[in-house]
Structure 1
Amino acid sequence: MQITFLGTSSGVPTRSRNVSSVALRLPQRAELWLFDCGEGTQHQVLRSDLKVSQLTRIFVTHMHGDHIFGLMGLLASCGLAGNMEHVDIYGPPDLEEYLKACRRYSQTHFSYPVKVHTVSPGVIYEDAEYTVSCELLKHRVPAFGYRVTEKDRTGHFDVEKAAALGIPSGPLYGKLKRGEQVTLPDGKQVNGADFCGPTLIGRKLVYCTDTVFCDSAIALAQDADVLIHEATFAHQDAELAYQRLHSTSTMAAQVALAAQVQQLIITHLSPRYAPGNSIEPKDLLLEARSIFPNTEMAADFLTVNIPRRESALVPVGKS
């Protein structure tokens, strides 16, 4: 699992930060999932190492323009490229109507299937490897946070041990790898768990924006490997945060601390904190770290690998 930030500003783009979008790359299945799609996201994808042809799912948090204005352009470009198989889009109730209007008035035809799924709290997608769930956050319009949970996998299968016991390769190995109990041709019974290493615990990624501090964000983020959380305002501007139902750097850190996450990455920064101003992004980072030390600040094109829990997160840098 690998995260690439495509937009980390709130409201409007700046010279160094585009508006909201985060890509999740799943290399083992050659898929790309997108969370939010602010204006200019397709340009950011072109400037990165990501392959838009691998895009299969888009998760939209809410209907504010800085999170959706790039969606129609991206979908239209993918259609013109002619290399898309299908895209599933998940989001609030008005999302499907919005896309229908965009297609109708721009007379855009998609050459590939696009299906819109209206979400509600709970599990919204599941396959053999991943589960995606969402919770309603606290914002001026309905806004959802998303949690991607990788399912646990059986540990490494000890082929040499199996061979030493005379177990023939083939279908029996598959059953043993799944931890099943197997009867051998000579009648002896063996337990697959005896041939497998420790279970590989699935990784968990949570994305929360836009929201003021709320219990549902804590519940969604519980025990996550990575929590991506908005930090629109500095702590001294908490009153503005409450008025606009956004989070401060310290609110994001409090969510991370309460949820006992491994890593917090703050994003969605207000342009008022541009470098050179009285308060800069580095100040918001220091505020968050005073509460939750394992905090990093997102930047456009920052790429982070999410490894198994045994090792630390590995920032790759700008893609």
Structure 2
Amino acid sequence: MELWVLGTSAGRPILGRNVTSVALQMPQNRGTFWMIDCGEGTQHQLLRTPFRLSRLEKLFITHLHGDHVFGLAGLLSSRSSLGGTEPIALYGPPGLRELIETTLRITETHLGFALRIYEVGEGVVFEDDAFSVEAAKLDHRIISFGYRITERPRTGALNVKLLGEIGVPSGPLYGKLKAGEDITLEDGRIIRSLDVVSSPIPGRVIVVLGDTKPCNSAVELAKGADLLLHEATFSHHLADKAGEYGHSTAVQAAETASAAGVKRLLITHFSTRYKDEDLEALEEEAKTVFLASDIALELKPYKISR
């Protein structure tokens, strides 16, 4: 799995930085990618990546401020014009359905695929046999969600060498043991799956937060995550302004990461007052609290390993 940050600018794009959007490359056997937010210009950014719109499976919207949604209708229209036919599931706060359906209607945009819109609340908003997605409300000027994407554990490895030594014939019996079933051999011996299969391999956890002030729900949502993407709109010198506008500083993002015990923090959503050469200072501020902090770089793949 890889996370690509397609935009790191807050409010509006500037030269060299686009507004908010994230792409998440799903495991190879799934063959798809997911997105979180879709600010203006997102489809231009996607053209500079390996992602194909036809493989977009799900799109999660954190909140309805323009820098997070103004690219959505255009992206959906382009996917249709490119021949995309597989359905897309779109998740987000109340008002998302009205925004999309009204825009498509008055622009007479007709999609060639099914668009399934889910206006979500807190709790699990999606799950299948491989992943679950949980949403939690944050503390912003309007309803803003964070999303916790959790990969289910993978079955442990089968100890083939041991099975050979104790005389278990390869074939269907191996499959039963791998699936957690105990087996009985022809000579009456019982082989327990627990004895020949290693512990389950934990799944990966990725947490992407919408705009927010520091809050307990952000910490709870991010608990133990492999990767946390957190806004850091201002430096700590502007903490009062951050609070006034419902945002966080780099230090506050790092404090959330530390309290949640995450493995890695990426900070993003930088105020346009900061030029590229200023971002290193924001990173250093975060590192004073949480060492495993980095500024998110646009169009750089961040690998998320098991």
* Mapped partners of 2:223, 2:103: distance in 1: 37
Segments of structure 1 that go 5 or more residues without pairing to the other structure are 309-319
Q: Give the Å deviation of 1:42.
A: 0.8
Report matched runs for 1:117-128 at 5 Å: 117-128=118-129
Question: What's the secondary structure of 2:173's corresponding residue?
Answer: helix
Q: Which residue of 2 aligns with 1:40?
A: 41
Q: Which residue of 2 aligns with 1:101?
A: 102
8 Å Cα contact 1:133/1:146 also seen in 2: yes
Which moves more between the two structures, 191-200 or 131-140?
A: 191-200
Q: Which residue of 1 aligns with 2:202?
A: 201
* Mapped partners of 1:116, 1:270: distance in 2: 31
8 Å Cα contact 1:10/1:19 also seen in 2: yes
CA pair 56-275 structure 1, distance change in 2 beyond 3 A: closer
Q: Give the Å deviation of 1:242.
A: 0.8
Q: Which residue of 1 aligns with 2:19?
A: 19
Q: Give the Å deviation of 1:163.
A: 3.6
Report matched runs for 1:1-319 at 5 Å: 1-28=1-28, 29-275=30-276, 280-308=278-306
TM-score (normalised: structure 1): 0.92
Q: Give the Å deviation of 1:194.
A: 1.8
8 Å Cα contact 1:17/1:299 also seen in 2: no
Q: Give the Å deviation of 1:49.
A: 1.7
Q: Which runs of 4+ in 1 moved over 6 A?
A: none
Q: Give the Å deviation of 1:16.
A: 1.1
* Mapped partners of 1:7, 1:232: distance in 2: 13
* Mapped partners of 1:48, 1:30: distance in 2: 15
Q: Give the Å deviation of 1:204.
A: 0.7
Which letter maps to 1:79?
S
Q: Deviations over 1:241-279 (max 9, x none)?
A: 011000110110010011011100000001101146xxx
Q: Give the Å deviation of 1:14.
A: 1.1
Which moves more between the two structures, 182-191 or 136-145?
A: 182-191
Question: What's the secondary structure of 2:273's corresponding residue?
Answer: helix
Segments of structure 2 that go 5 or more residues without pairing to the other structure are none
* Mapped partners of 1:215, 1:95: distance in 2: 25
* Mapped partners of 2:136, 2:63: distance in 1: 12
Which letter maps to 2:290?
F
Q: Give the Å deviation of 1:159.
A: 2.6
Q: Deviations over 1:24-47 (max 9, x none)?
A: 101321110000000111111111
Q: Deviations over 1:47-88 (max 9, x none)?
A: 112222211000000000100011111111111111331100
Which letter maps to 1:21?
S
8 Å Cα contact 2:25/2:34 also seen in 1: yes
Which moves more between the two structures, 53-62 or 22-31?
A: 22-31
Q: Give the Å deviation of 1:174.
A: 2.0
8 Å Cα contact 2:135/2:148 also seen in 1: yes
* Mapped partners of 2:276, 2:96: distance in 1: 35
* Mapped partners of 2:36, 2:19: distance in 1: 12
Q: Give the Å deviation of 1:195.
A: 1.8
State how many pairs are aligned.
305
Q: Which residue of 2 aligns with 1:312?
A: none
* Mapped partners of 1:220, 1:78: distance in 2: 32
8 Å Cα contact 1:132/1:148 also seen in 2: yes
Question: What's the secondary structure of 1:269's corresponding residue?
Answer: coil
Question: What's the secondary structure of 1:138's corresponding residue?
Answer: coil
8 Å Cα contact 2:138/2:212 also seen in 1: yes
Question: What's the secondary structure of 2:294's corresponding residue?
Answer: strand
8 Å Cα contact 2:233/2:270 also seen in 1: yes
Q: Deviations over 1:95-142 (max 9, x none)?
A: 011111011101111111110111111111111111110100001110
Which letter maps to 1:8?
T
8 Å Cα contact 1:183/1:190 also seen in 2: yes
TM-score (normalised: structure 2): 0.96
8 Å Cα contact 1:256/1:292 also seen in 2: yes
Question: What's the secondary structure of 2:15's corresponding residue?
Answer: coil
Question: What's the secondary structure of 2:17's corresponding residue?
Answer: coil
* Mapped partners of 2:295, 2:267: distance in 1: 5
Which letter maps to 1:167?
V
Q: Give the Å deviation of 1:172.
A: 2.4
Q: Identity percentage over the alignment?
A: 45
8 Å Cα contact 2:183/2:192 also seen in 1: yes
Q: Give the Å deviation of 1:197.
A: 2.4
Which letter maps to 2:150?
T
8 Å Cα contact 2:53/2:84 also seen in 1: no
